[in-house]
Structure 1
Amino acid sequence: MNKISLLSFSICLALSGAAYAAPATTSVADLATLTSHGGEVDVVDQWGITLLDNNAFNYSGDVSVKYKTTGSGRGIGISVFNSLMTLGKTTVVVDVDSAPNANADAVTAVRLKNGSVTVGPAGNDKVTAEFGAGSSFTVNGNGSTEITGLDIEAGPYTSAYLIPEMTITLNENTTVTLNRAGNYSVGLYAYISGAKFITKDGLSINLNSDSAATMYGIRAQGIIPSSSAPVSSLPGAEVELNGTTEIHMLNGGTGTAGILAHVTGSKVSAQKAVTVTNVTNNATANLYGLYASGGAIDFADTANLTISGGSASSAAVIASAGGSVALTGANIDVDAGRAFYASGVDSTITGRAAQYTIDGNMLAANGGAINVSMADGSRFNGITSLGATPGTIDLAMDGSQSVWNMSGDSVLSTLSLNNGATLAYAPVAAGGAFTPKTLTVEGNYAGNGGVLTLNTVLGGDGSLTDRLIVNGDVEAGTTKVAVVNVGGTGEQTVDGIKIVEVQGTSIGTFEQQNRIVAGAYDYSVVKGASDENWYLTSKVTPIDPEGPEGPEGPEQPGGESALRPEFGSYLANNYAANTMFLTRLHDRLGETQYTDVLTGEQKVTSMWMRNVGGHTRFRDSSEQLRTKSNRYVLQLGGDLAQWSSDGLDRWHLGAMVGYGNDRSKTVSSVNSRDSKGQTTGYSAGLYGTWYANQADKSGAYLDSWVMYSRFDNKVMGEERETEKYKSRGVTASVEGGYSFKVGENEYKSYWIQPKAQVVWMGVNAKDHYEAAGVDGSRVKVSDDTDGNLMTRLGVRAYMKGHSAIDEGKDREFQPFIEANWIHNTQNYGVKMAGVKNEMSGTKNIGEVKIGVEGQLSKRLNLWGNAAQQVGDKGYSDTSAMVGVKYSF
């Protein structure tokens, strides 16, 4: 490989010749064009390469410059004066003397500059340099010297000459590194009057300091206005980032910025993603990611900005002195400072419609303006402020995956939440006290399918709550309101808890997104009766009677609070647990006599089974809740012993077990909310029966039983966690009756049987605490029914017999009809958060039952019946039973 060493400050190279050295104080003009397609050029001394007044210096091979400053030298690795340079892959390393010198205060790896003469390159009004892919530029500083990676010093070197175009082009995978940088060090520095950097994919700029120096990754400098140089006639510098870019700043001091566009006319633009990290161990340093101080920064792709370790005045994006920043999507993470800060008239930060992830605050002051449109999938964690001398912040969020997690009190100019976008007031920290937060919108608020999530102590009118204040109007549209209960136990409200305060007109509406529950009550979102504000109220609010779940029955009186439908589920479970295993003598045994197939003696079967299906309807004591339930019961039993005391009567001792399941649904007539209940249980017990068994089958009977039952219960409220609890207890019964024959013929006899039954019901649930809220509070639910005594008085009319064709075939049937009056000493009740509610209509119940009992053969008996119970206030129960017994 051809290798040429250059050892002088100003050099002349030819393809076929050896290099020669000129005196250090001499410049060589009219350098011949060098075109090479291979080989390397190494410079290993203290001077580097200087190109002066050269039309074209082209070299496609690798170039390596290793340069060290000494004494008072002002070090530059590669200098291009009034020339055009194109190099291949270039490596420049400049080491700054460790002993600082007052005259050695600016060291640069590459400098592009118009010359000290009044004419430019022959036939050219431009100065350019281009470096090949993979180039790297490193300056190792001493902590105090100002150092620069690549520097374009445009503008008039003398007042008589101006170069209109001075450009450095950096190809793919270029790296710029400044170590131990001093104050005002810059990675890429474009200085006024047509200076321009053009970069491609893979640009990496890295700066670090051990002296808390102010540093800039990229700086574009405009013209400071003066009488001799008006801004309109002298444009600023420009940096075009046409590829992916990464800028990393480490341990900089106050003012350190990833990108700075300084003074009017300067501009930094990016076509692809730009990443800036600015990290320091100096907690008092004001750090910046993108800083438009009079200049303009415009990104067409995502900005990834991280600020870590600086002061609270740091900012990921800042616009001041009339500067502007325009973004198209961003991922911003700021430890303690601001995400966006606009200060000063005509200072603007614009976020075009795109996806943003922002961890940091927004501040607009002194006439500065922030306008951000966040597309679906955006997230903003922070607050907004307008400053003592306010600016403006206009924020629009769109899409169901977008959310603003507002961490403290905030103020902005306008807010728009669209298509499911959410404003979520920050939740209460675990174990922390609740401090309500307020968002103030100075102008108009628009909610077009947006969501407002508030923290509220759900209690009475004066309860603590987060709040939205709109000093303008609420524009047309609907906002859903979700409420997180913070320790509220539910109370009856009067006016309600104010959650939205509107100084203008509420054209748009606020509606609850999901259930808002506390204690025994359901809350709803309503507009004030005499103002434009919006409130949370536990009062009953009207619903559309034409709706699919509209109210049944009379309109609810004003002022009544809306009870939770879970009341109905707890009541249904309680009622089912106490009643599903209730039996009567005929339910268990059907016809009480049959003839033993072996001995011919009349006995009672030793094995029986019954299946029951039933449907119950009831209302609660407030008449707000309608409950329907369906049950299934299976019981098995058989005699353990039989005997007689006088040869006519009979005594029976038996055992029985059972399985039952009841499922219910409760719907509120005042808000259409619903709840489902379920109870599944098992029982085991003993029964004893005595029959007088007079010869004509008339006479008395006594029956008693006792059983223990255990149930697993569930309550599944709408949009609530499933509540699980257990209930258990003992139920006992005593029943008696007497059979009178009132007539007979050849094949039939007719009977009347009055009867009575007393049942003690002792199945109950221990106190249950519903799932904890965000603050750990739990709602206590108590079974308020204790030892209900149920009595039944009734009469049964039946016929015994068979048809003529069944004569001698061991078939006998007994159709019957029965009427009963049932009385309960207590209503079944439940307390929720200390509020009691009861099952209505069960104090006095009328029952009619019809059925048939019969013997199909000497071994097999079947029976079945249907019963209807009716109470007041909408109570009813319909059931059907099929029983079978078999003799062995």
Structure 2
Amino acid sequence: MESYQIMKKQWKKIVPVVLAGSFLCGPFAEAATELTDKIYTNNIDPITSGSYSVSKGDVLLDASGYTGLPAYESSIINTMNGAVNININDGKTLTIKGYNNNPRPLNYHQGSALYAYQRGTLSGTMTFTGGNLIVSNEVTRTSHSSVFGLFADTGGKFDFKSDGDNKINLTVLVPMVGSMTADRHGIGLHNGELAFDGGNFLVKVDGDSVGSVNRRIGIEMAAGSNLDIKADNIWIEANEHALFIPATSGSSNPVARDVTNTAKFAADSIVLKGGTGITSTLETKFYKTKNFIEFTGETLIDAAVKGDSVFADIDGGRAIDVMATNITFNNKTTLLSENLTDLGTGPGYKHPVTGNWIDGYSLKAVSLEDSSTLVANDDLSISSNGGYYNTGLYVLKSLAQFNGKTDITMKNGVDSAKAVYVTSGANAVSKAEFNDDLAISLAGTRADYIAGIETASGGKVEVKKGLILNDNSDIYWAISSRGAKSQVDVNTSGSGTVQVIGDIGAANGGSIYMNLNNENSYLTATSYTSTSGATSKGKVNLDIANGAVWNMTGSSSVTELNLLEKGRINFMPPESHGAFKTLTVDGNYYGGGALYMNTVLADDDADTDKLIVKGNTSGETDLFVNNIGGGGVLTTDGIEIIQVAGQSDGMFTLKNRAVAGAYEYFLHKNKPDEENGSWYLRSELTPEPPITEPPVVIPPTVIVPPVVTPPPRPESKPDPIYRPEAGSYMANMAAANTLFNLRLEDREGRAENSSMWLRQVGSHTKFRDNSGQLRTSTNRYVIQGGGELFNTAFTASDRLGIGMMFGYGKANSHTDSTKSGYSSKGEVDGYSAGLYATWYQDANTLNGLYLDSWINYSWLDAQVNGEKLASESYDINGYSASLETGYRLPVYQGENGHVFITPQAQVIWNGLKADDHTESNGTRVKSGGSDNLQTRLGLKVSRDGVSDRDKGNDKLFSVYAEANWIYNSKQSDAYTSMDDVKVNMAGTRNVGELKLGTEGQLNKRLSLWSNVAQQLGGDGYSDTSVNLGIKYQF
């Protein structure tokens, strides 16, 4: 379209206005060499031979005002008496205006302004050299049959030449005058010739104001004619056909047989504009005639028929509509086809005069029939807009070859819109061959039936490189091939980019081969090897490699499938593309890429995507499984995800983690008790084969053959495989429950040292789950500080102190599965704030009874990162509280120190709760451990002392050792429920602890303390912690 606008601007500067106005007049001397103006009124005295020139000024030969008898009408120049030669000087113009009004012309003398033909042995050549030549012809009667600007009959030839820099420019005009129905043509060649070698070549035949524009033709050639135009610019415009090759010839319209018509156009810009561009109605079968048309130069063919300019033929708007014609485009070409039907709202255009539906019924932008050939040696674009049935490229028993890039754009259409349709028949070849990239746009059509490429009845389409067909979600078929020997091949060279959105299908012997071979290539479609109404199957062969993707939108069938290196097939998830999908391969499958499939990870009968291979499998394929809401159960045979009927030599490997609830699924070949070659997802590992004892062999002295008694097959039910993420959820909850727990000694709560304190704790915990499959280790770090806010006494010796504390803690855990080999990481971090209170019976000596309590609120962020799984985040918040008591008894007093024993007891209530969480895979997770009561009973042995040197310096050092029994009221202090399957933390019901510590008062204001504790429980549970604190009295 852009090229058309540029060409149109150029021609506005070139084409003079000659249809109206005054012309120079003067005497006409027929015998003179120099032509002068001539106005014909009563009779027309034609030039019939000789040599003439236009050198002194512009010349007008005008018969437009003729008022004589119709019988005396004649062409103004003809070759009745031999050759005519006219030389026109550079810059000079010869204008010839004919007039034809005879209702029954005897011959083309009376139907054309210029007439070249051979009479007898005389020359039929009419030659014009240099200058500007303008030829027009007019008619007013409605019954006149045919009018031409130029007509060359048998043996006639028009020869337009240039003289050096004096280029000839030709303008042929057949204007519309009044109301008429006569056939009008710019140039007619009936077994004639026209040669042009010059500047600008223009032919323009206007339309009418009435309904019919039958035979408003730019150039008509038939019966073995030759047309050879070499120009700077070529513009041919007519209301019906720009170039028309009918099946008739001569003045009596006999049928043309066994002839060849040839047309060559060469120019910088070539424009053919009309109701149709190029039309040929010849049929080789009947007439044995062939046409050859060649374009050299940038070419535009603009065919448009709208509601106000229609003609009786319902084929209007076709850029090319030919039979038995070979067309070659050597340079960039644009083919525009428009046949609007009130923007596609009805079956055609209902003409306001006749009331008939005559426009837009069947629009084919390019139609090749009856052994025609189209060759495009450069880039070519086709635009087809309108029609009830709209087809971009239609090929019937013909060949189309595109050697450059090809673009096809479809717009509007009512019943159907097809970009490429190739069909053939018995003993015929019909093919469209695209040797470079093909791009098809269907975004502009909303027809009931939309198709990209279709072949039928033996038609073939080969796209050797890339194919882009991806811009209309309402497409019915992206690619379809139906009928024996029908075929569509895409990217046969393997070097193109293929991007196709829309279903593909073959049936009744048709076939499709598609090669997706780079990371930018994709197919988003359902594939069919049989379609509605088909009596037999077709073939669909797919090669997918090097990062290319097939997004499978529905259950599909193919014949052969090669999923090569880095190729991928995505079974589109059911939540966005309907139900689960099955891919059936009727033949063999070769693997080297990856399958992405969806399944409900549940029992053996769970819904799932599925690959069915009726032939053999080979190669290695990666499998990725997406769980769709499955909660996980212990399977038996498993979920059949790949079914193989033939030789099952292919290897399928599960590359991601298939998890559901607390279960881990694995890919197994064969059933547990049957080697059927299929592949199953089971929530178990393959059990170890039973140990078979060697057979008992009877000594050879016995004639009876040895009796081999196989041992009975042990009954073994495989254990379920739990996910390591369960360990991470438990570790997070366990850490949250204990992160900010503390005892009186952890903050060195001496009554006489009421002050600010700060402690840091590092610990390492190991535990297992109750199945023994998961092993977890956790590292914790806490920094906590506080200070006394208030103190009071009830007696002379007791003391009550109340303070506030704040803390930050972080825990990181790592869980390994001893079964699956997968691992998971957990993380908790957050803050706490609380109050504490301590009462001493004897605040001076700290002997006797003491009570210590605290209450804390913690708000924590938790995260679980499973191997190859999405990260999961949730919160843990809540209160915890403690009550501790003990009684300190002195058992030894020495000169430099005293020894004490302190029986202790503590109860810690934990009310932290983790949010219920749904993982990205659908698993619902609940973490337990809330409302656990942990009790501790222990005995502490300590010594307070000071060296002789430090006596009197406010120094005091204590060392202690204590042993504790810790009991948790719950079965464990944390558990995880995944889709109602519980996995518990083991070994925490009863825990023993040994703790060693020291406290030192360095001076009256500064104190330090530290302790190390080791806890041991059942099932491998252990916890090691180190505490370091500092206190400063202001």
TM-score category of the 2 structures, normalised to the smaller one? 0.7 to 0.9
| Deviation string, structure 1 residues 779-831 (Cα, Å, up to 9, x no partner) | 43334334211111222233332334434443332233222221111112232
Change (3 A) 1:694 1:688: closer
1:799: which partner in 2?
943
2:536: which partner in 1?
389
Alignment-mate amino acid for residue 139 of structure 1: G
1:14 aligns to what SS in structure 2? strand
Matched, 1:338 2:477: yes
Bigger-Rg structure (1/2): 2
Match among 818, 824, 835 for residue 962 of structure 2: 818
The CA distance in 2 between the partners of 1:473 and 1:189, in whole Å, is: 49
Matched, 1:539 2:684: yes
1:95: which partner in 2?
239
Which region of structure 1 is more displaced relative to structure 2, 669-678 or 149-158?
Answer: 149-158
Change (3 A) 1:752 1:10: farther
Matched, 1:77 2:212: no
Would the aligned equivalents of 2:1009 and 2:1028 in 1 still touch at CA under 8 Å?
Answer: yes
Shift of residue 850 of structure 1? 2.0
Change (3 A) 1:331 1:2: farther
1:598: which partner in 2?
none
| Deviation string, structure 1 residues 671-696 (Cα, Å, up to 9, x no partner) | 23333322233333333323344987
Which region of structure 1 is more displaced relative to structure 2, 579-588 or 533-542?
Answer: 533-542
Alignment-mate amino acid for residue 544 of structure 2: M
The CA distance in 2 between the partners of 1:631 and 1:312, in whole Å, is: 66
Aligned length in residues: 812
Matched, 1:192 2:337: no
Change (3 A) 1:217 1:199: farther
| Deviation string, structure 1 residues 568-606 (Cα, Å, up to 9, x no partner) | 22222222222111111111116x36xxxxxxxxx2332
The CA distance in 2 between the partners of 1:20 and 1:518, in whole Å, is: 86
Change (3 A) 1:729 1:368: closer
Alignment-mate amino acid for residue 379 of structure 1: Y
| Deviation string, structure 1 residues 135-181 (Cα, Å, up to 9, x no partner) | 221223xxxxxx5525496969966xx77x83321421423324257
Change (3 A) 1:136 1:845: same
The CA distance in 1 between the partners of 2:670 and 2:419, in whole Å, is: 46
Alignment-mate amino acid for residue 455 of structure 2: I
2:631: which partner in 1?
489
Shift of residue 854 of structure 1? 0.7
Matches within 5 A, 1:14-413: 14-15=128-129, 27=153, 29-31=155-157, 33-36=159-162, 38=167, 40-45=169-174, 46-51=184-189, 57-68=195-206, 74-80=215-221, 81-88=224-231, 89-96=233-240, 107-111=241-245, 127-140=262-275, 147-149=276-278, 151=280, 166-180=292-306, 182-184=313-315, 186-189=318-321, 191-192=323-324, 195-210=326-341, 211=348, 212-222=360-370, 236-254=371-389, 256-263=390-397, 266-283=398-415, 285=416, 287-293=418-424, 294-307=429-442, 308-312=445-449, 314-321=451-458, 323-333=460-470, 335-351=474-490, 352=492, 353=494, 354-376=496-518, 377-387=520-530, 388-400=535-547, 402-413=548-559
Change (3 A) 1:882 1:116: same
| Deviation string, structure 1 residues 683-738 (Cα, Å, up to 9, x no partner) | 33333323344987643433222333333333333444444333333322222233
Shift of residue 5 of structure 1? 4.5
The CA distance in 2 between the partners of 1:52 and 1:242, in whole Å, is: 30
2:800: which partner in 1?
651
Shift of residue 295 of structure 1? 1.4
Shift of residue 771 of structure 1? 4.9
2:908: which partner in 1?
759
| Deviation string, structure 1 residues 416-464 (Cα, Å, up to 9, x no partner) | 222332222233346x9x523221100011220x222223223211111
Matches within 5 A, 1:769-784: 769-771=917-919, 779-784=923-928
Shift of residue 4 of structure 1? 4.6
Would the aligned equivalents of 1:470 and 1:503 in 2 still touch at CA under 8 Å?
Answer: yes
Would the aligned equivalents of 2:329 and 2:378 in 1 still touch at CA under 8 Å?
Answer: no
Matched, 1:681 2:830: yes
2:641 aligns to what SS in structure 1? strand
| Deviation string, structure 1 residues 226-253 (Cα, Å, up to 9, x no partner) | xxxxxxxxxx432111222121222334
Matches within 5 A, 1:460-471: 460-471=603-614
Matched, 1:642 2:780: no
RCO higher in 1 or 2 (8 Å CA, sep ≥ 6)?
Answer: 1
Alignment-mate amino acid for residue 213 of structure 1: Y
Alignment-mate amino acid for residue 1007 of structure 2: N
Shift of residue 279 of structure 1? 3.5
Shift of residue 502 of structure 1? 0.9
2:219 aligns to what SS in structure 1? strand
| Deviation string, structure 1 residues 341-382 (Cα, Å, up to 9, x no partner) | 223333221111222111222222222221111122212122
Match among 642, 645, 648 for residue 503 of structure 1: 645
Shift of residue 469 of structure 1? 0.8
The CA distance in 2 between the partners of 1:95 and 1:696, in whole Å, is: 120
2:908 aligns to what SS in structure 1? strand
Which region of structure 1 is more displaced relative to structure 2, 452-461 or 712-721?
Answer: 712-721
1:143: which partner in 2?
none
The CA distance in 2 between the partners of 1:218 and 1:568, in whole Å, is: 69
2:129 aligns to what SS in structure 1? coil
Would the aligned equivalents of 1:279 and 1:310 in 2 still touch at CA under 8 Å?
Answer: no
2:579: which partner in 1?
435
Alignment-mate amino acid for residue 384 of structure 1: S
Matches within 5 A, 1:583-598: 583-589=742-748, 592=750
2:619 aligns to what SS in structure 1? coil
TM-score (norm 2): 0.72
Shift of residue 19 of structure 1? 7.7
The CA distance in 2 between the partners of 1:112 and 1:57, in whole Å, is: 20
Shift of residue 840 of structure 1? 1.1
Shift of residue 837 of structure 1? 1.9
Shift of residue 879 of structure 1? 1.2
Structure 2 residue runs of 5 or longer lacking an equivalent are 1-90, 99-112, 117-125, 138-146, 175-183, 252-258, 342-347, 349-359, 689-715
Would the aligned equivalents of 2:629 and 2:923 in 1 still touch at CA under 8 Å?
Answer: no
1:587 aligns to what SS in structure 2? helix
Change (3 A) 1:658 1:542: farther
The CA distance in 2 between the partners of 1:207 and 1:72, in whole Å, is: 17
The CA distance in 2 between the partners of 1:129 and 1:439, in whole Å, is: 53
The CA distance in 2 between the partners of 1:156 and 1:678, in whole Å, is: 83
Shift of residue 643 of structure 1? 4.1
Would the aligned equivalents of 2:161 and 2:167 in 1 still touch at CA under 8 Å?
Answer: no
Structure 1 residue runs of 5 or longer lacking an equivalent are 97-106, 118-123, 141-146, 223-235, 544-556, 594-602
| Deviation string, structure 1 residues 400-429 (Cα, Å, up to 9, x no partner) | 2x2222222221101122233222223334
1:604: which partner in 2?
753
2:899: which partner in 1?
750
Change (3 A) 1:63 1:810: same
The CA distance in 2 between the partners of 1:20 and 1:437, in whole Å, is: 70
Matched, 1:628 2:772: no
Shift of residue 113 of structure 1? 9.4
